[in-house]
Structure 1
Amino acid sequence: MAVAVKAKRRQRRARLRQLTCAVLLAGTVTAAGAGLAAPVAAAEEGHAGEWSEVDAFVGGRLDATDTPGAALAVIEDGRVVHEKGFGEDGRGRTVTPDTPFLWGSVSKPVTGLAVMQQVEAGRVDLDAPVRGYLPWFRLADRDASDRITVRHLLTHTSGIPTAASGEIGDRYDNAPGALADAARDLARVEPADRPGGSFAYSSAGYAVLGALVEKVSGRPFGTYLHEEILDPLGMEHAVATEGDFTRERVAPGHRSLFGAPVPFDAPYDTSGVPYGHVGGSARDLARLALAELGGGKLHGRQVLSAKGIADTQRGHVDSSADRYGLGWSVGTLKGTGERMVWHDGALPGFQAMVVMLPDSDRAVIVLQNAYHQLRAEEFGDAAFGAAQLLAGADPRRTPVDPIAVALPWAAAALAGALLLGVAAPALRRLPGRRAAVRGRSRRRIVVAAVASVTAALGVAALLWRLPSALGGTLPMALLWLPDVGWGLIAAIALALLLAVERTVLAAVDLWRLRGGG
């Protein structure tokens, strides 16, 4: 779930502050590898101190986010000039430039490249309706479905809402046809805007693009990527299929649990390859960046024409931050004004970023084996800041958002307060209520019960709607923010239990008032 869109994150933080207050009030509220390793080694030999500032900065950002392991690659002048591993993977092994990670939404530029290969082969027209290639494709609005083009999907202007990713994503489905099955499930999604009307980042749209490539190429999407992109570029540890995931022994990533990184050993997700489940090592991703900077060519293998590459890296539409091309975000590097082509990505447990500076023929790749959805900008600092250092600018250091730290504890505190409310009658001894009932009128008992039940149900409803107010769902919260998600579930369950308990106690009090006991 995760392009680094600055304006969107500012809005999210504002909503988080408002909703957290509501919760608190309610409840107490590289180019490297066998053929390319030598140039890297030559560049590194005797020059370790040259990169110490970059290494120290990246290491500091990893410490700031409690990330257990990461890999860094730096490209200059058409070659990988620096590589480094930091820390350990999810199985306690030392991270190296060959350690495989999952890349999250950095998969999208790979999918964009695959689509453009089909365009250059004459099998796909960017401005043709998607239904011309996938007759079964549709949203809940059939007319809108008919007008969505391939370009709309690539540029996130199809009208498919960002939240649709929650409908079809993170299902960890590896059955045959899983990708097409996920895309078919968009039939129940209402469009948020007309096709071409506005930018709305949509992983769901990229799932459709993957299904399109499968259909026109006649090959499973992961197989296509290997045969046409990953293998030709020599990406030896690339992951695009469940078999790759098993062969490379991809270690668990880490989610945050009350601020501590906890391994999350999720299975692979074939249904999510086009938008989030491509993976590989820092050296693999460096080879992709080298091809992108080299006009689609790396060591004699041309995966796309120079014109096609330039088109993918050109800003086609305004996005929430900078502009968006055909799979890439396009903008300027803060502090330098230099043109920047980049993408970040995240999955529960992983974060990845590629920052390319085409005018100076540089790139920075950072892969991390941890992620926190509410601290996304902090995770992005490692790559952005390293790129700024290379360009002679001050590196970005995002301060910790106190809301991100407080929200899990607020959810837990609310659940605790509700638990005390549920336990209160037992703590006061239920038999002792008899004397108290004698001095109360029937009206007072009913009014108190109605107020208590209404408040408890209101808290439950507020918490139930909280994830959707942030653009997600409760299952997504459980996956991406498990401490917050389970805190919300516990609080919702206890609020409902409290409403039932207060109803039962009121009924018992009324019965006793009538002389029943």
Structure 2
Amino acid sequence: MRKITIAILILSSLFIFPIFSLVRSDENIPDELSGTSDFSKVDAYIAREMKRQHLPGLALGIVKGDRILYLKGYGQADSSGRLVTPDTPFGLGSIGKSITATAVLQLAENGKIDLDAPIKRYIPTKYKGAEFITIRQLLNQTSGFSQISTFSNSLASINDPDQDALEKNAMSYAKKFLKDTKQTEHTYRYSNANYVLLGYIVQRVSGQSYGDYVKEHIFNPLSMHDSYVTLDEAKVHGLATPYRRIFGSNAAYDGPYIYIPGDAPAGYLYTSAKDMSHYLIAQINGGRFEDVSVLSPEGIRLMQTEPVPGTYAMGWMTGHIDGLPVIGQPGGSIGFQAQTYIVPEQQLGVIVFANVLDAIDADWPNTHIITTTRIASGVINLLNEQPIGGLGLSISQKYLLVNGLIILLSAWLLYTTARTAKRCLGPSSPDNSGHIEISIKVISRIVLNFAGLFIVLILNTTQVVPVWHIATIYQPDVILWLKTMTVLMAMKGSMEIIRLIRSNWHDKTSK
């Protein structure tokens, strides 16, 4: 009887365990990926890419229809060895723009916002441009605003209190971009300013702060319990530590600009792979997750449709992965990167988070393609039994090129500086201190040695070129090297001046 009981329990488990398995089969997913064990191919691929790209931690979510197929954390969330789990929060980056778009469309469906109304109806501003730029243009990024002009605002708003930062930043953008006095038709042009203004409009129309609105009307209904609207909240609940790369090695970062409260609606929200899977399910299923709907099917369809192919929908962009139509969005902020994709014809969604980012993670000149973009594409190819495709250069290979160039240029500059020092500081002789004609060529060479240091001082102490400060944050190793080289060149220039003075003094004393 005991043997029979054990046999019954074993047989029962064979039927019960698949029911509770996180990975579920579906006729549109290849048979090899219909069971838990088959995701070992995905696990192996992720492990290989984490090693190639030196990723400290990564989180993956895969959804199909109204179900989660697979959730897993890989690697470490911080230097203590804490493991990444599907509940670990990461920075969402620009993927958060679709959350802002969802909030705007919710208010539109409730009759509180007219998508084709000029933004002056919702923003108190005297600038003429607010009279003809519409909410829809902000959503589709066809307002004419530029991205590079937003960097100075991002840098300036870091110290603003959370409750005031969004309003202050939005009104600053209004002053900067709404001065046009005539209506102009603009094509797609990506800019964070569009979504900062939209977030401020959500705040004014709803009567709640942007963060409170998102929590009440999006995060809570979608059971996104590990999603946060401020850095402090996310840190308290186990936010993965952000890392930057320093000459190829990962270094934890806890400095400024991890969180810019004035830019929150454009890319400073925090969420987990599990929570983002809930969000993707709603995006795939006409706004519905389980028994809750956050947006109508028509609203979701509008969100995901570009006004002109190859432009921008509302928080989403279209593309192809090996010929397969997808919609998606990369996201990046200091120390965090993410990529999400939806394959509409398969009702398939993928989200990938990682907790390291610098400029070298991007493909050049296609800077919207980052490490997590390639990994998410590879996962979709695996799920469709397709070759993973071009993996691109690994971080080691990229830094081999960058560091090799740095070493060569540094060696050349050190050699020329040492040679100048020898001529300048060595004993007087015809070779060292012979007459040097003061000419335009000589003066130009000296000036050129000081030019780099002068330029760097201006860039560091002013906001003339805000992108310099952004580069200092995202690629500190290369910027540090550039600063060091400019100091070395200035030293070389100083020695050239000394050598010029000595040569002419020697010439006079000889006579």
Matches within 5 A, 1:307-346: 307-318=298-309, 322-335=310-323, 337=324, 339-346=325-332
Matched residues, number? 466
RMSD: 3.4
Equivalent position of 1:180 in the other structure: 167
8 Å contact from structure 2 (residues 334, 357) kept in 1: yes
TM-score (norm 1): 0.80
Residue 152 to residue 399, structure 1, CA distance change in 2 (3 Å): same
Give the gaps of 5 or more residues in structure 1: 1-37
What SS is found at the alignment partner of 2:389? coil
Alignment of 1:440 onto 2:435: yes
Q: For the residues of structure 1 that align with 2:207 and 2:179, how far apart are their CA atoms? A: 29
Give the gaps of 5 or more residues in structure 2: 1-18, 26-32, 363-368
Equivalent position of 1:62 in the other structure: 50
Q: For the residues of structure 2 that align with 1:127 and 1:310, how far apart are their CA atoms? A: 17
8 Å contact from structure 2 (residues 222, 292) kept in 1: yes
Residue 437 to residue 395, structure 1, CA distance change in 2 (3 Å): closer
Q: For the residues of structure 2 that align with 1:183 and 1:431, how far apart are their CA atoms? A: 61
Most deviating of 54-63 and 105-114: 54-63
Residue 466 to residue 196, structure 1, CA distance change in 2 (3 Å): farther
What SS is found at the alignment partner of 2:427? helix
Residue 481 to residue 42, structure 1, CA distance change in 2 (3 Å): closer
Equivalent position of 1:122 in the other structure: 111
Q: Which amino acid aligns with 1:84?
A: K
Q: For the residues of structure 2 that align with 1:275 and 1:416, how far apart are their CA atoms? A: 43
What SS is found at the alignment partner of 2:330? strand
Question: 1:314: how far off?
Answer: 1.0
8 Å contact from structure 2 (residues 23, 35) kept in 1: no
Question: 1:147: how far off?
Answer: 3.1
Q: Which amino acid aligns with 2:338?
A: A
8 Å contact from structure 1 (residues 291, 298) kept in 2: yes
Residue 147 to residue 305, structure 1, CA distance change in 2 (3 Å): same
Residue 500 to residue 269, structure 1, CA distance change in 2 (3 Å): same
Equivalent position of 1:105 in the other structure: 94
Residue 405 to residue 473, structure 1, CA distance change in 2 (3 Å): farther
Equivalent position of 2:73 in the other structure: 85
Q: Give the number of the structure with larger relative contact order, counting CA–CA contacts within 8 Å between residues 6 or more apart.
A: 1
* 1:253-281 CA distance string (max 9 Å, x none): 22121122222224533222111111111
Q: For the residues of structure 1 that align with 2:349 and 2:319, how far apart are their CA atoms? A: 14
Matches within 5 A, 1:219-234: 219-234=208-223
Q: For the residues of structure 2 that align with 1:143 and 1:264, how far apart are their CA atoms? A: 42
Q: Which amino acid aligns with 1:488?
A: L
8 Å contact from structure 2 (residues 424, 495) kept in 1: no
Residue 479 to residue 90, structure 1, CA distance change in 2 (3 Å): same
Question: 1:461: how far off?
Answer: 8.1
**Which of these two proteins has the greater Rg computed from alpha carbons?**
2
Give the one of 401, 409, 413 matched to 1:406.
Answer: 401
Q: For the residues of structure 1 that align with 2:399 and 2:432, how far apart are their CA atoms? A: 45
8 Å contact from structure 1 (residues 240, 279) kept in 2: yes
Q: For the residues of structure 2 that align with 1:116 and 1:392, how far apart are their CA atoms? A: 37
Matches within 5 A, 1:76-475: 76-91=64-79, 92-136=81-125, 143-144=128-129, 146-169=131-154, 172-173=158-159, 175=161, 176-186=163-173, 187-188=175-176, 196-266=185-255, 267-318=258-309, 322-335=310-323, 337=324, 339-376=325-362, 377=369, 378-400=371-393, 405-407=400-402, 409-411=404-406, 413-414=408-409, 417-418=412-413, 421-422=416-417, 424-428=419-423, 430=425, 432-433=427-428, 435-436=430-431, 439-441=434-436, 444-447=437-440, 449-457=442-450, 473-475=467-469
Residue 310 to residue 46, structure 1, CA distance change in 2 (3 Å): closer
* 1:423-445 CA distance string (max 9 Å, x none): 5544456252465466315xx24
What SS is found at the alignment partner of 1:324? coil
8 Å contact from structure 2 (residues 145, 194) kept in 1: yes
Q: Which amino acid aligns with 2:46?
A: V
Q: For the residues of structure 1 that align with 2:287 and 2:378, how far apart are their CA atoms? A: 26
Question: 1:235: how far off?
Answer: 0.5
Residue 134 to residue 228, structure 1, CA distance change in 2 (3 Å): same
Q: For the residues of structure 2 that align with 1:327 and 1:40, how far apart are their CA atoms? A: 32
8 Å contact from structure 2 (residues 424, 432) kept in 1: no
Q: For the residues of structure 2 that align with 1:472 and 1:196, how far apart are their CA atoms? A: 28
TM-score (norm 2): 0.81
Question: 1:297: how far off?
Answer: 1.4
Q: Which amino acid aligns with 2:486?
A: I
Identity, in percent, stands at 27
Q: For the residues of structure 1 that align with 2:128 and 2:411, how far apart are their CA atoms? A: 49
* 1:139-184 CA distance string (max 9 Å, x none): xxx5545432222222222111121232222554451311222233
8 Å contact from structure 1 (residues 341, 356) kept in 2: yes
Residue 384 to residue 393, structure 1, CA distance change in 2 (3 Å): same
What SS is found at the alignment partner of 1:325? coil
8 Å contact from structure 1 (residues 160, 202) kept in 2: yes
